[in-house]
Amino acid sequence: MLAAAESVLVPTIVLGELFGGFEVGSRGRENRTILAEFLDEPLISIQPISASVARHYGRVYAALRRAGTPIPVNDIWIAAATLDAGACLLTFDQDFGRVPGLDRLILEGIEPGTED
């Protein structure tokens, strides 16, 4: 899927989650190297958190709270960044299915970090 993309945006929140996982994992150095190579690809851009993303965050947070369907805070930020970019989110995380108006493709398979 990524090979067919015109561009791939990586929100800074995703980078934070990845680096956090690297810190507690046993292959941190290897994973940081792989991530650096991935981020060096020409179609990859890091998406910063802007005031516009923060407004989307507020809307998503409020909608989920009103609906009684909360999701983790970082996932709200990721959804907000995706909405702000007008992009499609590729994820294994079913929680994103609760976010109204989010264009997403929930992939099937083993979620990262859940394999034995």
Tens digits of residue pLDDT in 23-57: 999 999 999 999 999 999 999 999 999 999 999 99
pLDDT digits (tens, 9 = 90+) for 95-113: 999 999 999 999 987 555 5
Tokens at residue 62, please?
A: 């409020």
**What domains sit in the chain, N to C, each tagged with a CATH number?**
2-106 (3.40.50.1010)
Using a pLDDT cut of 90, give the percent of the chain over it. 87
Please report how many Cα atoms fall inside a 13 Å half-sphere around the Cα of residue 31, on the Cβ side: 15
Tokens at residue 16, please?
A: 């934070």
What is the pTM assigned to this prediction?
0.87
